[in-house]
Chains A and B, each alone.
Chain A
């Protein structure tokens, strides 16, 4: 069993309430930080921990915090990004639903470290039940003296609010999130200036993912160096992985970074293999925006080493043979899944969710969706694959925010690894147009893993 730093008490009855959470050692990091550490010392511990942003980008959290400008007389803000909308990713919803005080505790410590007197948790609007859970937890924490004025008699004041979004994937991008929090459309801002200089209301702001903020709790409790001992290499600590798709046991798992992918998919402790005795065809390892990998490449690197659940190992080989850790949204596809249909589905998602600000993304995602749609429904042409790669290249890197890249990578990688399946759709158009959704139609087992299910 791997170490659990976030979800150790997740199955304790009543852990969503303050009293039970407290009885399990909850809020100890607030006491330790506010009473025995300076804000800079907390930042230093987070730096030592090697924690990388758990929202998808993987940028070192401590470094991000240290960039925060601290002009005199200007408010600073901490904003938690709980706008979880990346297809395949549902770890933050899980954490907020079952152990909301972990996030509240992390918010207090992080706000203290950053000198924020008001902090916001921007929660995806669709998560109304989670919003109610968090508001209740905040009220409990405030009643017990962990929020509000003069917290624990230390002289530190903090108000914490939950802000609901309005339904827009783009608001997971930090500057779009800030625009939305200011009551505007979620159009990403041009960077620089980065939020650390000019964020919410033009003030220095840090935006962190739910899981990143929750991870601050064990980091402060155990010390950054101890935290860094968990995991592998520069992928320190634990990571929440939300596993979905055709797995026998989907769900949210806390793993020590460095677990072999094969163990994660087939191990008893984790997903226990592919559902219904099917074979694994492909995996999207870090949410829909990261490149898809066929079964052979997700289990072994190009050098035939076991691929590990770590930032470095998943990316090994670049995008030709690797992928990314991303948000930890792990989607497994069995042999019956149609890659063309799946790619079209994701292209539709990104077209729908493009904010429309940048032409390459606004137009390009629409064209990709249209071309994939005609392929999926049996009206494709052989030139379509090259056309899709061309369009994806023209979107990638040419937009204000990474949504353009996120839209381009799934398409480009699907064609890279499953081109023959796209070609099959063209040459077998009649079968494609008459088949039912989700049924097997692709006979060539090239990307399939020869592993029988127990």
Chain B
């Protein structure tokens, strides 16, 4: 459940972001600007870390569609975060081929190392994690990815996960 503070925080789209929106809309025929919805939600999430209700309302206004049309899309697709997440979201593949090469153990290790349950945020605000379905890298499992760039890490071991998390902590200055 979102708190009132989270949902009511105002959102401002910078002119640079609007320019990116305009570029996306130009790819579709006139009157079919709704096609830009998924790419624009990605841009919003990359900018703000999640897609908040005020941001979705503004996207609806920009695309000249109803807010519900944005909500139903944002809630259908798994990539859009409807609540704030850690700065780094570790998405670990948990599906068949990765499972055969040890995904469950990697997920256990990520959970223990970060000390938070799936979908929660570490106290320092840096990390969240979740299990995701097949990431299409089945020959190189176990794998995980980190948004918003979706950098990819293959053939994971507990040690490589430790190194990865330490590197991200260092990068964030902690």
Q: Decide whether A and B are members of one complex.
A: yes
Q: How far is the CB of A3 from chain B (nearest CB, A)?
A: 22
Q: Does A438 lie within 8 Å of B138, measured CB to CB?
A: no
Contacts of B73 in A (CB 8 A): 166, 183-185
Residue with the greatest number of chain A CB neighbours at <10 A, chosen from B42, B63, B76: B76
Q: Which residues of A contact B38 (CB under 8 A)?
A: 125, 163-166, 180, 183
- The stretch among A32-40, A56-64, A86-94 that forms the contact with chain B is A86-94
B100, B135, B140, B147 interface centre (most CB from chain A within 10 Å): B100
Contacts of A125 in B (CB 8 A): 38, 42, 77, 79
Identify which of residues 240-294 in chain A touch chain B, using a CB-to-CB cut-off of 8 Å: 242-247, 250-252, 284, 288
- Distance in angstroms from A361 CB to nearest chain B CB is 15
Query: A345-353, A382-390, A416-424: which lies at the B interface?
Result: A345-353
With A88-B96, A164-B38, A437-B104 as contacts: A126 and B27 at CB distance below 8 Å = no
Tell me the interface secondary structure of chain B in the complex.
mixed
User: Is A126 a contact of B96 with CB atoms below 8 Å?
Assistant: no
Q: Is B84 positioned at the interface, with any CB of A under 8 Å from its CB?
A: no
> What are the residues of chain B within 8 A of A252 when measuring CB–CB?
139
Given contact pairs A184-B73, A252-B139, A85 touches B97 in the complex (Cβ within 8 A): no
Measured between beta carbons, the chain B residues less than 8 angstroms from A159 are: 27
Q: In the complex where A87-B96, A89-B136 touch, is A182 in contact with B76 (Cβ < 8 A)? A: no
Complex alpha-carbon distance, A159 and B27, angstroms: 9
Q: Is there a chain A Cβ closer than 8 Å to B7's Cβ?
A: no
A67 near B: Cβ within 8 Å? Answer: no
Contact for B39 among A126, A163, A168, CB less than 8 A:
A163
B: interface residue count bin: 35 or more
Judging by beta carbons under 8 Å apart, are B133 and A337 in contact? no
Most buried by A among B94, B105, B150: B150
In the complex, the answer to whether A331 meets B138 with C-beta atoms within 8 Å is yes
Which residues from A are CB-within-8-Å of B148? Answer: 128
CB proximity to B under 8 Å, residues A332-360: 333, 337, 341-342, 345-346, 349, 352-353, 355
Known: A75-B29, A85-B136, A437-B105. Is A288-B79 also a contact (CB below 8 A)? no
Which residues 161-190 of A have a CB within 8 angstroms of B? 161, 163-169, 180-186
Known: A88-B97, A128-B150. A183 touches B34 (CB 8 A): yes
Complex interface residues of chain A between 110 and 169 (CB less than 8 A to chain B)? 118, 120, 124-129, 159, 161, 163-169
Render B132-174 as a binary contact track against A, CB cut-off 8 A, 1 for contact.
1111111111000101111110000000000000000000000
CB of B138 within 8 A of CB of A90, answer: yes
Over the window 92-114 of chain B, the binary record of Cβ atoms lying under 8 Å from chain A Cβ atoms (1 yes, 0 no) is: 00111101111011000000000
Q: Is A242 within 8 A of B133, CB to CB?
A: no
A84 adjacent to chain B (CB < 8 Å):
yes
Q: Is B72 an interface residue (CB 8 A)?
A: yes
Is B37's CB within 8 Å of the partner chain A? yes
Complex-state Cα separation, A46 to B76, whole angstroms: 37
CB distance from B39 to the nearest CB of A (A): 6
A76 to chain B, nearest CB (A): 12
Instruction: Determine if A329 is an interface residue (Cβ-Cβ < 8 Å).
Output: yes
Most buried by B among A161, A183, A438: A183
Q: Would you give the shortest CB distance from B8 to chain A, in whole angstroms? A: 25
Q: How far is the CA of A185 from the CA of B151 in the complex (A)?
A: 26
A372 to chain B, nearest CB (A): 13
> Quick check: B99 and A183 within 8 Å, CB to CB?
no
Provide the A223-248 mask, 1 if CB < 8 A to any CB of B, else 0: 00000000000000000001111110
Inter-chain contacts of B151 with A (CB < 8 A): 129
Which A residues are CB-close (under 8 A) to B147? 128
Q: Verify if B116 is at the interface (C-beta below 8 Å from A).
A: no
Q: Cβ of B36 < 8 Å from any Cβ of A?
A: yes
Tell me whether B29 and A244 are in contact (CB under 8 A).
no
Do B97 and A168 touch across chains, with their CB atoms under 8 A apart?
A: no
Residues of the A chain whose Cβ atoms lie less than 8 Å from the Cβ of B27: 120, 159, 161, 163
Evaluate contact between B136 and A84: CB separation under 8 angstroms. Answer: yes
- Interface-centre pick from B32, B78, B96 (highest chain A CB count, 10 A): B96
Contact pattern, A 435-454, Cβ under 8 Å of B = 1, otherwise 0: 00110000000000000000
B103 to chain A, nearest CB (A): 9
State the CA gap A186–B37 with chains docked (Å): 13
**Shortest CB–CB separation between residue A280 and chain B, in angstroms?**
13
Within 8 A of A (CB), among B20-51: 27, 29, 32, 34-39, 41-42
Q: Which of B32, B77, B135, B137 is the one whose CB lies under 8 Å from A168? A: B77
Provide the bound-state CA to CA distance between A186 and B138, in Å: 24
Partner of B80, one of A88, A166, A246: A166
Cα-based distance from A284 to B80 in the complex (angstroms):
31
Assembled-state Cα–Cα distance A128/B46 (Å):
12
Inter-chain contact A166/B41, CB cutoff 8 Å? yes
A244 and B41 form a contact (CB under 8 A) = no
User: How far does the Cβ of B111 sit from chain A's closest Cβ, in whole Å?
Assistant: 14
Measured in the bound complex, the distance between the Cα atoms of B134 and A57 in whole Å is 20
- Compute how far the CA of A246 lies from the CA of B95 in the bound complex, rounded to whole angstroms: 14
Distance in angstroms from A162 CB to nearest chain B CB is 9
Further 7 A-B residue pairs, CB within 8 A, beyond A84-B136, A159-B27, A167-B79: A88-B97, A126-B132, A166-B73, A183-B65, A250-B138, A252-B139, A342-B99
Closest 7 CB pairs of A and B: A166-B77, A244-B138, A167-B79, A250-B139, A183-B37, A183-B34, A167-B78
Of the A-B pairs whose beta carbons lie under 8 Å apart in the complex, a sample of 28, sorted by A's number, is A75-B29, A84-B136, A85-B134, A87-B97, A87-B134, A88-B138, A89-B138, A125-B38, A125-B77, A127-B136, A129-B149, A161-B27, A163-B27, A164-B39, A166-B38, A166-B73, A166-B80, A183-B37, A183-B63, A185-B76, A201-B32, A244-B100, A245-B101, A250-B138, A331-B96, A342-B96, A345-B95, A437-B104
